[in-house]
Each structure stands twice: as C-alpha cells, then as structure tokens.
Structure 1
C-alpha cells in the first residue's frame, strides 16, 4: 500500500513539474504581444517579380517571408472595409495592418494574389484605369478587366480594386505631377477652371471603370507618386473619393486626415522581414497616459 501511495505521489509531482515547464512555452505560442492599438500600419507595395529589378520591386519569396514574419509576430491583417470603419470610429485588432498595392500591375494577380489568398490576408490594389484598354502595351504588363473582376468576386479572398487615377499617373515637363500641376500648351497655361474639370473628370472616369468590375463602392484612391495639395484633395473628394492615401511614412490613426492617409513602404528589395517589423515598431504612435 505504501509503495502504491509513494508511486502516486511521484507521478503527481512529475505531472506538476511538466506542467510548470510547459506553461511558459504554451503561453509564448498562444499569447499575442500587443505592440500597438487604435492605429494601423498601412503597407505599400508596387511590383512582385523574380526577374525584374527596381526600387519598387520585390521577389515572391521576400513578399511571402514578410507576410510570414508579420503573421508569426502577431500582426493582424485587416481589409480596406475594416480600415474605413476604423476611420469612422470602429475598433480594429491590436497590431492592425492593411496591405496596399499601387498601379495595378499584372504581377499582383499572378504572384501576390495567390499568396494573399492562401494566407487569407486581405489587400487593396489601386489601379491606373487608363491601362485597362491595352494592359500589355508596356514592358511591365497591367491587370485586365477580367483578372480584376475575378479577384474582387472571389468569395475565398478579400481583394479590393480602387483608384490610382485614370490618366494622371504622369508628370508634366516642368516636373510637377499632373494631379497638382497646370498643363501648358502652345504658350498658354491651363486655367484654374480647366484644371478643376480635368481632375474631376479623370477621377470620375476611374471610378466608373472600376465600379463595373466589383461589388464594393469605389471611394478610395492612392495619389500618383503620393503627391497632392489642398486643391487636388478637394477635387478628389468632390469626385466621390472619401479615403485617399499618400506615401507619408507614418502610422494611420483616427486623427489622420482621411484624404491624406499615411503609408509605410514595404516594397523595396532591401526591406527584409525583420527590417519591416522594426520599421513599423519605430513609427508607432504613443498613446497618452491617462493614469495621471
């Protein structure tokens, strides 16, 4: 009897010991570290390709590794819809991240979209709709109407297609972006009224072309080159855009101007997964201490 009791006590102690050892290990696997709350790291990408080289092009492997790193570190990916709701006052998960792509390159469809879908990560692509008429006309091909429609209607993913203007993604001879500069022709400078109408018409055209390719409202835009000014933002809003994104490298908060939303560049080939994590960390907006 004594032997059975001793054996029982030994087993109990062994179980307790194992539990003590396992507890911190289990906690590290299940507890998500909160880096920040009530703000969003909006990440910006352009082109995903394994042969093309540029400051705005990263490989498929690097993109996948970035997503893997952020996921393992406890970042929570949100959709454009959730981001807009956040800007209107709704809550978002801790460590919230929104993935955005600019230009509408076909590499998004062939390389990024499958990875995003497999990981169930939402994203938005800001499309230059002037390319839709002839998407294969340039060295880097653009997405087709059919590809955009397929993604935005895919029930197993959450992909948005929004505006990057129709034909304003260019610069004038004087170096100014077309969205903020006045065109000069035959020695005459475009009037303010003509400029206003040009911007309004372009954004309206962009929205019209995309509205037939998806079911969600076309109310968001990324400024070409991230450039805007007070008048351009005013006109963009008048044309039906409620949320416009820049390339100002900051975190997005509810106090951010919805027509000047900041974004953090993640699409440079030198941005390793670890570097991306650190870049987000150093841009976190400190919350005021209410316990004073």
Structure 2
C-alpha cells in the first residue's frame, strides 16, 4: 500500500494566468520573491482534478491518518494527501469551495511571518498571503502545519535560509510557527531544500513527518521525514494527473 501527496501553491483562472509573467509574492515579512509558472495550476484543471478524485472514490488523507500509517495502520486503497504551500489567497478564493463541495480534506503549510495583519482584496496579478482569520474561516477543510516562521527565504536556487541557520536559530523559528499551527509535529521544507542537519534537528524536536519536493509515491519504506510530493503544474492534463496519483 502506498499513497501520493499532491503539492499545490497557487490557482488562477486560465484567462487570468500568463505563464510568461512571474507572480511576485505579497507577504507581511520584508521579503520579495516570484513564483515560477509550474507552481500554478489553472482553476479549470483544478476543478477537473478534484472531480476526478471524487468520481473515482479517492479518500483525502489527514495528517493523523498518515502518522497512523507509519505506525502500522492501513489506509484506504485509493488515498491521496492534498497539500498547499504558503497560504496564498487562491486557496480560500478557489480551492476551499471546491474541496468543501466534495467533502475533501487538505493540508496547508504556513509561513507564519508571511501572514497579513489585515485581509487584502484578491489580486490575480500577485501572490498575496492570507491572514490568520482567513485561515480560521476555512479550517473545516484545511489543517495547518509548519513551514517555518521566517526562514522561507532563499539565497540561490540550491540554498535556503533554513540551511544556513544554526540549529538553535532553526529550533526557535520552528517553535514560533508551532505557536499558531494546529499540527505541531509535521513540516514541509521551504523550496524543497534542506540538508542532513535540518533533518536531524526535526527528528530531535519530535517531528514525525516532513515533506520534500521530490516526486514519487510514499510507502512504509519511505523515511517519514523525507516524504515525497508531486507538484501539480499548470500545464498538466488529466491523463498525466492520473499517473501521479
């Protein structure tokens, strides 16, 4: 028995999305970055994907079910874990009503220093972060886990701020994020970047699941602190989507 984890970041209506135009983030922290086109999915494709999961009787896993799976408990044969990184506006604007309609469950990985103090109008031109109140509004579908407090930054394509931090700095950062998120022993590596020291610290801190950006499925031979996730890019068609789940 194995399960696939799907990774989403942003959703846009096809008419609003230009893959040639990078989307700058709008977050509370003093940090600017752009989301590359493959981290977007069109609303039309997302609706099609969720309808397929529903029609094929897929079970959307909770993090507690994944933990139990690694403790020896079985999961339904058709199981998938839906994850959304960074908590941008589109998860409330687009993902939430679709997931709620189908009775699906999802996980959002939160960068707590990115959460806005006050809500902003939805903007398809930028990747704007939600507020804590926004996340509370959609918590009947989403559960929240750790994506760092302030270390979701990168120096270059292969090095993140988390990798450069000391163990003491990272431990404090994880604790700050855990003051907000409900699930305090699950982590997603920012940008999918990490080193062995980071994994070791998570283990020492009592984290039991951590998600990479490496594609593939997860079974009981997969290290639960190195779980795989499949990016769902904007250009993927349903036949390709079916193959990654």
- TM bucket (normalised to shorter chain) is 0.7 to 0.9
2:80 aligned with 1:114: no
In 1, are the aligned partners of 2:218 and 2:228 still within 8 Å (CA)? yes
2:66 aligned with 1:103: no
2:199 aligned with 1:233: yes
Question: Counterpart in 1 of 2:221?
Answer: 255
In 2, are the aligned partners of 1:200 and 1:238 still within 8 Å (CA)? no
Equivalent in 276, 286, 289 of residue 241 of structure 2: 276
Which of structures 1 and 2 has the bigger CA Rg?
A: 1
Question: Counterpart in 1 of 2:134?
Answer: 147
Question: Counterpart in 1 of 2:34?
Answer: none
Equivalent in 91, 95, 98 of residue 74 of structure 2: 91
Equivalent in 109, 118, 124 of residue 107 of structure 2: 124
Q: Trace 1:8-27 onto structure 2 (pairs within 5 A).
A: none
Unaligned runs of 5+ in 2: 19-36
Give the 3-state SS of the residue equivalent to 1:147 in structure 2: helix
Equivalent in 183, 201, 205 of residue 217 of structure 1: 183
Q: Distance in 2 between matches of 1:272 and 1:231?
A: 38
Shift of 1:279: 3.1
Question: Counterpart in 1 of 2:26?
Answer: none
CA change 1:87–1:43 in 2 (3 A) is same
C-alpha RMSD of matched pairs (Å):
2.1
In 2, are the aligned partners of 1:245 and 1:260 still within 8 Å (CA)? yes
* Bigger proportion of residues as helix: 1
2:210 aligned with 1:244: yes
Looking at both structures, which has the greater relative contact order when contacts are Cα pairs under 8 Å and sequence separation is at least 6? 2
Shift of 1:220: 0.9
Q: Trace 1:57-72 onto structure 2 (pairs within 5 A).
A: 57-72=40-55
Aligned residues: 221
User: Could you state the TM-score of these two structures normalised by the residue count of structure 2?
Assistant: 0.83
Unaligned runs of 5+ in 1: 1-37, 183-194, 211-215, 281-292
Q: Distance in 2 between matches of 1:174 and 1:47?
A: 20
In 1, are the aligned partners of 2:58 and 2:78 still within 8 Å (CA)? yes
